[in-house]
Amino acid sequence: MLSVVVSFITAFFATLFIIKLSRNMKNMLDHDLASVQKIHARPVPRIGGLAIYAATFTGTAVTFWRTPEVGAWVFLLVLCASLAFGCGIVEDFTKQVSAFRRLLLTMISVVIGYYVMDAKIVRIDIPLVDAWLKYAWIALPLTVLAVSGIANAINIIDGFNGLASVVSIFMLLSMAYVAFLVGDFHVMAACLILIGAIAGFFVWNYPNGLIFLGDGGAYFIGFMLGELAVLLVVRNKDVSAWYAVLLMIYPVFETIFSIYRRKFIRGVSPGLPDGIHLHMLVFKRLVRWTIGKRDAHALTRRNSLTAPYLWLLSLTAVIPATLFWHYQWVLVAFSLLFIVTYVWLYTQIVRFKSPQWMILRQRLRKKK
């Protein structure tokens, strides 16, 4: 598809331009190297979301040129995402937009999508609950909670080079495939355009971390993922609502588990950042390059070795969701299996009981 190629090329060169420009504009760089969630050794531009947003617009314009109806639909969806993207990109530049304000503006974006795109949760395939979802006073808050939660979840897992990007691409590929099967070419086109944009950014983000996604990119991608999942389900009765649940379960459960861990185990505010997310534990306790060099190159290498663990974890949900997208009870069973696997894995790592085959150790070379 031409729009995918155009979105990829646009993101590729726009990201490169940002990297080059940031050398002379220091306010584009992330100078915070000491925070508990920062795993980089030098200031890096964190406005990669700007390139992805621009590339999505460019790809949408090509789609509009070739298929006006589909292009106009995707363009409207991207416009709905603009508030969520805007608050994030302003935070990336200024570091002065609070988490509450970002969440609030993302929620407003969801409300706009609810009325403009008809992106609303009207069923979760549980009859007693579905009967109530015909009322807007129930469907609207549920939709706002779900989509804004996914946007925040993508921001939470965006901790290592390539992590959020590849996980998002996996989910978008799955939705594009299912949309193709049910003949929903509007959703399919939006997914493919976004895949091209993220892939163009990814080339510069992984493995060397020359640029970061930033809040703008994370909120934009997360919003689009949430909206497209809702739209795919609401527009196609054959697609189980539990397909969307299983597809998004890695970032969503990571968020829910983090809130539970902070609030009820550590007794601190759920909004307080910490360094014991699953991806942080993988970095600290599975990717063991702690002996030897501690320079920037070594840190970047450890960083790049972390994401593949979580890519594989996400695939344990994405693959069965894609294969069984219309079998509700199979999707429910895999959702429960993922939760059990996640909790077991987290518990094993945090207790220093990780399976030895999962641990990467530095190879000690004999001195000549």
d(CA 188, CA 122) in angstroms, rounded, equals 21
Q: Which of 334, 63, 316 shows the shortest CA–CA distance to 192?
A: 63
User: Is 155 annotated as belonging to a binding site?
Assistant: yes
pLDDT of residue 23: 76
Strands 360-361 and 287-288: parallel
Q: For residues 239 and 325, is the Cβ–Cβ distance under 8 A?
A: yes
In-domain check, residue 38:
yes
Positions in the chain short of pLDDT 50: 31, 34, 36, 290-292, 363-368
- The reply to whether 367 falls in a domain is no
Asked if omega into 68 is within 30° of 0 (cis), the reply is no
Are 47 and 89 in contact by the 8 Å Cβ rule? The answer is yes
pLDDT tens profile 218-246 = 999 999 999 999 999 999 999 999 999 99
Of 341, 314, 331, the C-alpha closest to 124 is: 331
Q: With contact defined as beta carbons under 8 Å apart, do 189 and 56 qualify?
A: no
The answer as to whether 12 is a domain residue is yes
Provide the pLDDT for residue 364: 38
Q: CA torsion sign, 194 to 197 to 199 to 205?
A: negative
* Residue among 339, 70, 124, 120 nearest 239 (CA): 124
pLDDT at 355: 78
The predicted pLDDT at position 366 comes to 40
Q: Does residue 219 fall inside a structural domain?
A: yes
pLDDT on residue 293: 57
Its domain, for residue 150, covers 2-361
The reply to whether 198 falls in a domain is: yes
Given this model, what pLDDT does residue 361 score?
A: 64
Q: Is residue 59 part of a domain?
A: yes
What's the CA gap between 33 and 173, in Å, rounded? 34
Q: For residues 255 and 141, is the Cβ–Cβ distance under 8 A?
A: no
Is 368 among the domain residues? no
Helices (H) and strands (E) in the chain, counts: 15, 4
Total domains present in the chain: 1
| Residue 355 is assigned to a structural domain of this protein | yes
* N- to C-terminal Cα separation, the chain: 55
* pLDDT (tens digit per residue) in 171-221: 999 999 999 999 999 999 999 999 999 999 999 999 888 999 999 999 999
pLDDT averaged over every residue in the chain:
89
208 is in an annotated binding site: no
